[in-house]
Every structure is written in C-alpha cells, then in structure tokens.
Amino acid sequence: MEGLEDRTYTADAEPGDHATVAGWVHEIRDLGGIAFLILRDTEGKIQVKFEKDEMDDDLVETGLNAARESVVSVTGAVEEEPRAPTGVEITPESVEVIAEADTELPLDPSGKVDADLSTRLDNRTLDLRKDEVQAIFEIRSEILRAAREAFRDANATEVTTPKIVATGTEGGTELFPITYFGEEAFMNQSPQLFKQLTAGSNLERVFEIGPIFRAEEHNTPRHLNEATSIDFEGAFCDHEDAMDVCESVVKSAYEAVSENCADQLETLGLAGEFEVPDDAFPRLTYEEAIEKINATGELDEQLVWGDDLPTEGEHALGQEMGRHYFITDWPSEIKPFYIKDHDDDEALSTGFDLMHPRMELVSGGQREHRYEQLIEGFEQQGLDPDEFAYYTDMFKYGMPPHAGWAIGAERLIMTLLDLDNIREAVLYPRDRQRLSP
C-alpha cells in the first residue's frame, strides 16, 4: 500500500464504490467454499468475501492466512449484502498484509475471551481495540472538550502550570520526591497555589486540565497515583460563584456525552439509562450532611461536628440523595489552610465538596486572600511560610478575593459511565503495583 490517501473508512464504504479499506483482521470465518475476513478500523467493521473457486489462489491465501489482528488493506468492489454485519461487503481484487500479528495474542480484542484488568492494562493497545474500551476514551475526549467549552463560556483562560515543584501544595506524605539537578524537588500534588497566583493577575479566571501526583499508599477503586485534575480559579468569585461554574462544567459534560456520543453509549450498554442531571444540585451544609448520615443508622458510631465523613457515611448519604449534591460550610479545622473561613464564623469554612452518590468528585472553596491570615494559616497547618514565599509574597501586591475548585477527570468519567474501577478511565494508570506501561 502506497500510503493512506485513497483509504476509505469502513463506515463510509457504500455499495457501488470501488474502495480501499485498511485495518485489523478482526476475525476470519471459513465456511468451506466461501470465507469471510472481517476487517476492523476506527469507525467499525466490514466484511470481505472470498469465493475460493472463483478467485486467484494467491489472493485467497493471503487474505485467509492473515493471523487475527494483522494489519491489512483490501481493495475491491463494495456491494450490498443484507446478511453482512453492516449491510455491505467487499469482494477483493487485492489484499496486502501491512503488519503481521503473532498467532498467539496476550488478549482477545474481539472480547470473546475475557481478560482480567491487569492483563488488559499490560496490553492496552490490544485492549483499546475493543469497541467498549474505545468508547470510554472517545467519551473521555468529549468530556474534556465539553469542559473546555464550558470554561470558555465562563470567561476562563486555559493555563498550564509546572508539575515539578520545590514545595508541595499542602506538604505532607502525599508527595513524590524527585532529584532536580542535585536538589530535592517534588511532583506537584495539585496546581492549587499556581492557579491562585494566576487568578490574582489580569487573567482573573483560569482553568487547567493536567496531571496531579499523589503518593497515596492505599490501593482503592477510586484513587490513582497520577490523576488528571480539572481545575478552576476565579478572581472576584466567592464559593457560591465557584459552585455555579462547577455545576455548569459537570452538567455540560453530561449534556455533551448525551448529544454527541450516542454510539458510544450504545456500545457501553447505557443508551437507555443515561441521564443528564437537570435541576440545580442540592447544597447541603456539613451539619445537615452529618445529621442525615446519622439518621440512616448505617454507621456504628454517630458522627459529631468536626469528624471527616467516612466512606460508609458518604455512601449512605449518596444513596439517600440519589444524585449530585454539594456539601458546604465544613468545619474550618478539616479544610486546608488556604480555604477562607466565613467572615461571621471562624469555625466555619467556605470550603465545599461536590459529591456523586458513589464518591467525592470535587473540592473547592473561597480562598484566604488576606496576607496576615494566610501566613497564620500556614503556621497553624505546621508549614513554614518562608518556604512558600513565592506564593505568599504575591498576596502583598493586591490579591483580589477569589475562589475555585478541582474535579478529578477520571472520577467524573467513572461516575458518568458507572465504571467499577477508576483505572478503566485512564489509558496507563499509575498505582501501587503499576509503573509501566
């Protein structure tokens, strides 16, 4: 094959065309006198018909001896064939094997033989040849596109900030240390400080979609050690404004998938049940949340003010709410130092979380923009403010009130598609056991 200029995608091959299609050998069905090669490309599949007695032996042999998953191109006449999977078939004039595949495959892309997640991730290229896996990543792409559009509608500028940093956002054990020209540095756990510094400029409203690194020890179905964070920060925003933007980004993602990914939802078996959240997300205070959790009777011990919400508590509340909801007005002591307290009650923070019934999706809040209070916050958290001078100094030069949030892209995808494991929503997950591929 000379190149792909004359290539037709399988989905575009129409009866009456003389076409060249190229892709992978999905399957060969040999019925004796007649045999079919099912060729698969990014758009779908097409049947290639071999009538052994009527065709050149070499042609038949090349086509039917191609091992499954070999890359081939086929040129021939496209004809209507109601019995073919897509209603058309190609009668080949030439077949070329472009890249042969081993006859032993580590996993079966036709999906007839199940593979466990670990085998799938080890052989992700083959795994991605499955329709339902391809569908997840096409939907992921659509969600990120929709998020970008929603941010633009909210007047935010896309930025990217460093991932190699001198100090973490909140310090602590969640950092991966690295060596930077002989000096200790870290992989950034969040763009928090940088996005605030940027929102304090004339850009005012910024967003970033990029990696975050967390050296969390635990292995759970909803934690990665490298995740994709969708971050927003807006000057002259309070926590309510930030929640409004958050709600519109999340809803836009659902709407975009509903409007533009009908085929993928169908492939994933979600066509009938996929729902776009419509009404405003309820906003529960932390106090209301713990009362509701206590009332479910699901916990052995009643929660009291100041407790973090345990996972079982989140689940019990999620079941009861049955939809996305915010938890607002958290106790200041369990929210990070950079979150601003309510002016009329220092024990109460403007921090909020957006919850999906299954898990936390977002944390956000209004930020402490007053220099003295910020320095105090560092000290209360046991952090040395001098190490963060690059950040705190800028608060001396006119830092407007501002607010923002972060959503884990993989958690958004996982909950939107009801995936069991967050690793399904990332191409090459990083977790306690996995550093390659």
Identify the residue among 26, 411, 423, 430 touching ligand ATP (CB under 6 A): 411
Which residue, 341 or 410, is less far from ligand ATP as judged by CB? 410
Which residue, 149 or 216, is less far from ligand ATP as judged by CB? 216
411 binding partner (options ligand ATP, Mg ion, none; Cβ < 5 to 8 Å by kind)? ligand ATP
Which residues ranging from 131 to 190 are in contact with ligand ATP (CB under 6 A)?
Answer: none
The answer to whether 407 contacts ligand ATP (rule: CB under 6 A) is yes
Contact predicate 316/299, CB 8 Å: yes
224 binding partner (options ligand ATP, Mg ion, none; Cβ < 5 to 8 Å by kind)? ligand ATP
Burial of 158 (0-12, 13-18, 19+ CB in 10 A): exposed
The answer to whether 267 contacts Mg ion (rule: CB under 5 A) is no
Which residue, 65 or 421, is less far from ligand ATP as judged by CB? 421
Which residues ranging from 354 to 383 are in contact with ligand ATP (CB under 6 A)?
Answer: 360-363
Least distance (Å) between residue 382 CB and ligand ATP = 18
Q: Which residues are catalytic?
A: 214, 216, 222-223, 360, 363, 411
Pure H helices in 183-321: 192-199, 239-260, 262-267, 286-296, 311-321
What is the Cα–Cα distance from 199 to 249, expressed in whole angstroms?
18
Which residues ranging from 348 to 387 are in contact with Mg ion (CB under 5 A)?
Answer: 363
Spatial CA neighbour of 391 closest among 403, 378, 406, 381: 378
Least distance (Å) between residue 227 CB and ligand ATP = 4
What is the Cα–Cα distance from 221 to 210, expressed in whole angstroms?
21
**Interface segment toward ligand ATP; rule CB under 6 A; list 32-40, 64-72, 219-227, 372-380:** 219-227
21 binding partner (options Mg ion, ligand ATP, none; Cβ < 5 to 8 Å by kind)? none
Two tokens at 159? 């930025």
What is the Cα–Cα distance from 70 to 59, expressed in whole angstroms?
16
φ/ψ of 2, rounded to 5, equals -75, -25
**Interface segment toward ligand ATP; rule CB under 6 A; list 67-75, 151-159, 216-224, 292-300:** 216-224
The answer to whether 403 contacts ligand ATP (rule: CB under 6 A) is no
Least distance (Å) between residue 394 CB and ligand ATP = 22
The answer to whether 120 contacts ligand ATP (rule: CB under 6 A) is no
Which residue, 329 or 360, is less far from ligand ATP as judged by CB? 360
What is the Cα–Cα distance from 313 to 198, expressed in whole angstroms?
36
Least distance (Å) between residue 14 CB and ligand ATP = 45
Least distance (Å) between residue 224 CB and ligand ATP = 4
Which residue is closest to ligand ATP by CB?
408
Q: At which residue do the structure tokens 């909140």 appear?
A: 170
What is the Cα–Cα distance from 231 to 206, expressed in whole angstroms?
8
Which residue, 369 or 411, is less far from ligand ATP as judged by CB? 411
Q: Looking at 68-225, which runs of residues are DSSP E strands?
A: 71-80, 88-99, 157-158, 164-165, 176-180, 183-187, 205-213
Other beta carbons within 10 Å of 170: 16
Phi-psi domain of 412 (left: phi exceeds 0; alpha: psi -120 through 50; beta: other): alpha
* Size of site (CB under 6 A) for ligand ATP: 15
Identify the residue among 68, 205, 223, 335 touching ligand ATP (CB under 6 A): 223
86: Cβ–Cβ under 8 A, 6 or more apart, which residues? Answer: 10, 11, 44, 45, 46, 47
Q: Rounded to 10 degrees, what is the CA torsion of 78, 83, 85, 88?
A: 10
Least distance (Å) between residue 63 CB and ligand ATP = 46
410 binding partner (options ligand ATP, Mg ion, none; Cβ < 5 to 8 Å by kind)? ligand ATP
Spatial CA neighbour of 236 closest among 399, 394, 350: 399
Which residue, 267 or 363, is less far from ligand ATP as judged by CB? 363
Give the interface with Mg ion as residue ranges (CB under 5 A): 363
Give the interface with ligand ATP as residue ranges (CB under 6 A): 214, 216, 223-224, 227, 229, 360-363, 406-408, 410-411
